Amino acid sequence: MLKALIKKQIAEFFAPYFMNRKTGKRKSHTEMIGFGILMGVLFLFLAGIFFMMGIGMTQVFVAINMEWLLYSIMGLIAITLGVVGSVFSTYAGLYQAKDNEMLISMPIPSSYILLSRLVGVYVICLMYSALVWIPAAISYWITAGCTPTNVIFPIILLFFIGVVDTVITCILGWIVALIAGKTKNKTVITVIISAVFLIAYLMFCSQMSTVMEGFIANSAAIGGVISRWIYPVAQLGYGATGDAAGLMIFILISIAVFAICWFVLSKTFINFATKKTGEKKKAYKAGEVRVKSLQKALLQRELSRFKSSSVYILNTGIGAIFMVIVAVMAIINRNDLLIIVSFFKEAYPFVGNAVPVIAVGVMCFMIAMCPVSAPSVSLEGKNLWIVRSLPVKASEALNAKINMHMFVITVPTVVSTVIIGAAINMNVGVIMLMTLLAVVFTLFIAYLGIVLNLKRPNFTWTSEVIPIKQSMPVSITLFGGWIIALGIIGLGILMGGALGDALSLIVILAIFIVIDFLINKWIKTRGAAIFDEM
């Protein structure tokens, strides 16, 4: 039974990459290869960042004969990234899966159900941790050379780093579930806890270079602290450099903490998985009914769906957090920004004239990280018949999803763009053009998400994590948005020298207005027809 549950969970995790949920058929080889290339490029880009970090640190730590400290530090970063990457979906994946009650009603031990769920969490944690750990190991092999033990041991340890990630992530998910069970609005609690954790991690990353310099300058003292206070991490470092005792100690600790975590969670799993909320029942009271327009009613429906899901808020609204952070950092570092802008205007006028476009391009990166509309069609799930049975045109239902996207993202987009424009000392006219371009790009992302979700819907999910985090529409909207943002920056630099900042913004703005118009026309016609046929 356990084998069947794990097989089901793994198949469910990878299904979006191999199966067309709309037709129920396997995707073509071209689609799978294309998506594989896209994910591979992203993996290499992120891994390259940690590889460069690892190369610099390895040279120093090898020279002072403290190679183990390199692996300990990179191990801590790998564990942290794994937790951050999976923490947003753990609560929903463990305790809010749609088939929890069905499985619990069957003669299946709850510990088996939980263990199969943990497999999905483990896979996500392992993928994120590998982005740090594998580049660190390669940088060490290049610098220090290869031996059978220092090659094989880090590979083995990677799988147990994933185990530690899973334990930490599950503890956080359990805490959220515990608080949510005693709180009226569990979504708010989940969002606050996760957002605080994310902001703390981003603050650490923003000071990464300073932290690394401090590590290197005080390597002996830090090594002593890790050895005394973070014993498992020290053994991780020793094991990765070829020490068999360190390898076995870390493996045994990983297995032990996982066994304890599984035992404790299995005793509370049924309680949390079947508990709906901490809300009290309310008696119905007759009162005045307010009539809303059709679009307002549909928008309210979409917003209610968005606000009810912490997974939806966190995974599609993370870009808004970045917008706020970047705007605050722009204010704090305004003098440095002005020096940089002045330098480029004097030394490289074609780049200096493109500064407003570059600033908007950076905003577009963060806007693309808010694919709110991309899973909105799939999230109808088995309730799709409700909206289709209403006397509502398909185009109106789709328009409500677009309006919801704009309602959620437009305010942080406008405020952050205005602040950044003011921070780099742009005049009012240029700031208005920057803001308009950011809003039009936001609309483009909203349209793109709807189009892709209409083409690749998934209504058979058992956990909302699947359409929100593991779907092709979300992935393509995110990564495609990044590529287009790079294109905006490149186009701005190409036109900056000849047209100037304001005219460059106007040209790019006109291009996106035309694109938005054409996509909107498609959604109202062909897109509406596709939605009607679902």
Model confidence pLDDT, tens digit, residues 70-104: 788 888 888 877 776 676 666 666 666 666 667 76
Look at 180 and 375; give whichever has higher pLDDT.
Answer: 375
Q: Beta 25-26 vs 19-20: how paired, if at all?
A: antiparallel
Find out whether 262 and 109 touch, Cβ atoms under 8 Å: no
Confidence of residue 291 (pLDDT cuts 50, 70, 90): low
Per-residue confidence band for 440, with pLDDT thresholds at 50, 70 and 90: very high
pLDDT for res 284? 53
pLDDT, average across residues 417-438: 89
**What is the mean pLDDT of the segment spanning 143-164?**
87
- 271-285, 358-372, 449-463: which has the minimum mean pLDDT? 271-285
Does 448 have pLDDT greater than 90? yes
Helix (H) or strand (E) holding 91: helix 67-95
Amino acid letter at 493? I
Report CA-CA distances (Å) from 49 to 46, 55, 84, 133, 480: 5, 10, 17, 12, 20
The mean pLDDT of 461-481, rounded to a whole number, is 81
pLDDT-based confidence at residue 14 (cuts at 50, 70, 90)? low
pLDDT tens by residue, 477-507: 988 898 899 888 888 888 766 777 788 888 9
- Residue 497's CB is within 10 A of a number of other CB atoms, namely 15
pLDDT in tens, 192-214: 656 666 566 555 555 544 555 55
Q: What's residue 496's pLDDT? A: 66
Q: Which amino acid is at 520?
A: N
- What is the value of pTM for the model shown? 0.64
- Percent over 90 (pLDDT), the chain: 11
Name the average pLDDT for the chain: 77
37-41, 255-259, 496-500: range with highest mean pLDDT? 255-259
Backbone angles phi, psi at 143, to 5 degrees: -80, -45
Collapsing DSSP to helix, strand or coil, 26 comes out as: strand
pLDDT for 292: 65
Name the token pair of 437. 């371009």
- Contact between 419 and 331 (Cβ < 8 Å): yes
Contacts of range 28-36, beta carbons closer than 8 Å, 24 or more positions apart: 35/472, 35/475
Q: 269 vs 214, which has greater pLDDT?
A: 269
Distances (CA, A) of 492 to 323, 369, 431, 488: 21, 21, 15, 6
Question: Can you give 336-389 as a three-state secondary structure string?
Answer: HHHHHHHHHHHHCHHHHCCHHHHHHHHHHHHHHCCCCCCCCCHHHHHHHHHHHH
**20 forms bridges with which residues in the sheet?**
25
The residue-averaged pLDDT of 498-520 equals: 88
Residue 435 has a pLDDT of 93
Q: Please tell me the predicted confidence (pLDDT) of residue 278.
A: 47
Q: Show Cβ contacts of residue 154 under 8 Å, excluding neighbours closer than 6 positions.
A: 71, 133, 137, 140, 240
pLDDT at 263: 81
C-alpha to C-alpha distances, 62 to 65, 75, 119, 141, 228, nearest whole angstrom: 5, 17, 36, 11, 22
Higher pLDDT, 335 or 45: 335
Q: Is the pLDDT of residue 113 over 70?
A: yes
User: Taking residues 235-242, what's their average pLDDT?
Assistant: 85
